[in-house]
């Protein structure tokens, strides 16, 4: 439930972490997507997300860190800035599978919840402009790192591809994405711009080839 995300994360992690996702895996509670990927890698090592070669592995983890820390916050900022004015779109994106009660609650609390989300992500006009610039820079880096190849590291799908592709999907909305499949109107020109780039086409290809079967949250 947006607005209470942070409280839920704090409760689940006994005050250690205030972001989602938080998962329970084999009796262990794990938070932060970087740590979650590491835990999943331990739990199910095949197929590997970490390259075997130490240098390649270091490069894959550095790319993961870059897209997680530099790209993802800008994606959240841009998306929420444009989605918050459309309460139907925001409700569909945040609670795609919930019933009327939670959806009604979200709508009723949206004037306050929306302000909190804007504050949390610095989602305002200036933030959105800066976010577009940052996302273009991340796309430039993605394309440069790919250098026309299929994968970012070592010729095989790795944590770097997972992170770059997954975190790029909100403004691209590739087919099959269950959250916010219909982008709100103000995001569409930017989607068209990204989609036309080699990096945008690569994201759609990764999503199609490697996403697997979605599971319920
Ligand atoms: N680097 C963290 C960032 C996670 C993050 O920012 N999560 C957002 C949701 S996508 C969040 O929990 N926001 C607080 C909120 O929505 O209240 C990770 O990858 O786990």
pLDDT (tens digit per residue) in 144-162:
999 999 999 988 999 999 9
Which residue CA neighbors atom 20 of ligand 1 most closely?
32
Centroid of ligand 1 to alpha carbon of 70 (angstroms): 13
Q: Are residues 85 and 190 in the same domain?
A: yes
Residue 21 Cα, ligand 1 centroid: separation in angstroms?
7
Q: Mark whether 20 and 111 lie in a shared domain.
A: no
One domain for residues 52 and 63: yes
Tell me, yes or no, whether 215 lies in a domain: no
Residue bearing the CA closest to ligand 1, atom 13: 19
Is the pLDDT at 216 greater than 70? The verdict is no
- Mark whether 32 and 126 lie in a shared domain: no
pLDDT in tens, 73-98: 999 999 999 999 999 888 888 887 88
Q: Does position 135 have pLDDT exceeding 90, yes or no?
A: yes
**Domain of 40?**
1-46
User: Does 1 have pLDDT greater than 70?
Assistant: no
Do 24 and 94 lie in one domain? The reply is no
Pick the residue whose CA is nearest to atom 19 on ligand 1. 33
Domain CATH for 192 = 1.20.1050.10
Q: What is the mean pLDDT of residues 159-173?
A: 97
In a domain, 109, yes or no: yes
If you measure from the C-alpha of residue 19 to the centroid of ligand 1, how many angstroms do you get, rounded to a whole number?
A: 4
Look at residue 217 and tell me if it is in a domain: no
Q: Are residues 36 and 122 in the same domain?
A: no
DSSP the chain: -TTTHHHHHHHHTTTS--SS-EEEETTEEEESHHHHHHHHHHH--SS-SS-SSHHHHHHHHHHHHHIIIIIHHHHHHHHHHHHTT-HHHHHHHH-TT--HHHHHHHHHHHHHHHHHHHHHHT-SHHHHHHHHHHHHHHHHHHHHHHTT-SSSSTTS--HHHHHHHHHHHHHH--TT--SS-S--GGGHHHHHHHHTSHHHHHHHHHHHHH-------
Atom of ligand 1 nearest to the CA of 19: 12
Share of the chain above pLDDT 70, in %: 97
136 and 39 housed in the same domain: no
Residues 35 and 60 in one domain: no
- Count structural domains, the chain: 2
Q: Examine the domain organization and report whether 36 and 117 are in the same domain.
A: no
Q: What is the pLDDT of residue 143?
A: 98
């Amino acid at each position: 439930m947006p607005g209470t995300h942070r409280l839920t994360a704090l409760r689940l992690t006994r005050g250690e972490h205030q972001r989602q996702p938080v998962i329970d895996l084999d009796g262990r509670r794990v938070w932060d997507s970087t740590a979650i990927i590491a835990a999943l890698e331990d739990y199910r090592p095949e197929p590997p997300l970490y390259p075997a070669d130490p240098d390649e592995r270091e490069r894959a983890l550095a790319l993961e860190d870059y897209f997680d820390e530099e790209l993802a916050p800008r994606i959240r900022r841009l998306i929420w800035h444009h989605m918050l004015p459309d309460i139907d779109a925001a409700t569909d994106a945040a609670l795609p599978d919930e019933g009327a009660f939670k959806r009604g609650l979200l709508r009723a609390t949206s004037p306050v919840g929306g302000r909190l989300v804007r504050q949390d992500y610095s989602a305002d006009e200036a933030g959105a402009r800066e976010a577009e610039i940052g996302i273009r820079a991340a796309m430039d880096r993605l394309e440069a790192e790919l250098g026309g190849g299929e994968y970012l590291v070592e010729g095989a799908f790795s944590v770097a591809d997972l992170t770059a592709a997954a975190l790029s999907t909100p403004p691209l909305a590739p087919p099959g994405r269950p959250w916010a499949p219909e982008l709100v109107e103000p995001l569409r020109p930017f989607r068209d711009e990204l989609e036309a780039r080699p990096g945008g086409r690569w994201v759609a290809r990764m999503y199609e080839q490697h996403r697997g079967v979605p599971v319920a949250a």
